[in-house]
Amino acid sequence: MKLQDATVLISGANRGIGLAFARAALGGGARKVYAGARNPENITLPGVVAIKLDVTLPDDIAAAAQQCSDVTLLINNAGTATPGGFLAEGSVGAARKELEINLFGPLQLTKAFAPTLAANGGGAVLNVLSIASWVTSPQLGIYSVSKAAAWALTNALRHELRAQGTQVLGMHVGFVDTDLTRRLDIPKLAPDVVVARTLEALEAGAEEVLVDETARKIKAGLSAVPGIYLVPPNS
């Protein structure tokens, strides 16, 4: 799918990767960019159409689908991360919250916009995933479950939407320099770099993009013996 003249809707567009997608879409010749956020007043990027979009609220999703009936590219970017594993206090509640945002958010948005994409020629859905879809650690246990589920969702939607000509692209990446990783003292990619590589893959018609070397190594390691997901973190 080409970005030139596309009409783009981005969830979680007020900061981080979502904001970088909005900037890149405007710079890449998109006809219109809808920037969704729980608090649209926080969206200050000139040139976008700010909309209220909390991906956990069905009314927000329905209103967005009605307002943004010209969308040809849906970017499911909104996400959250709660540090910790499943044996920690409060882990069940944290897992439910993450699944609501990281799994059911993209599911409900895609269901709402699938007819719109079909009516507008097929278009594309781009899901922001993570290396945490494949590997985890005690501090990323809950987040990893939500992203693994989102990866499975992406793969399922790809098959379901193929008949209507909708491209579904899953984006996997290591650590990105955003608010979610601010406290982590590790190498990180700039959001603009991540977005540029992802949109290049989108325009090439790809169904999956491994943005950095970390993602490529981990994906390759899934078929290793033992599988990379069986190896203790930092070993």
pLDDT given for residue 185 in this prediction = 60
User: Which domains occur in the chain, in start order?
Assistant: 7-230 (3.40.50.720)
Per the model's pLDDT, the better-predicted residue between 174 and 206 turns out to be 206
How confident is the model over 176-202, as pLDDT tens digits? 876 665 665 666 789 999 999 999 999
- What is the value of pTM for the model shown? 0.95
Q: Which amino acid is at 8?
A: V
Asked if pLDDT for residue 105 goes beyond 60, the answer is: yes
Give bridge partners of residue 50 from the DSSP assignment: 35
Q: Any alpha helices (H) in the chain, and if so which ranges?
A: 16-27, 58-67, 91-99, 105-119, 141-162, 191-203, 213-221
pLDDT given for residue 228 in this prediction = 93
Catalytically annotated residues: 143, 147
Asked if pLDDT for residue 40 goes beyond 80, the answer is: yes
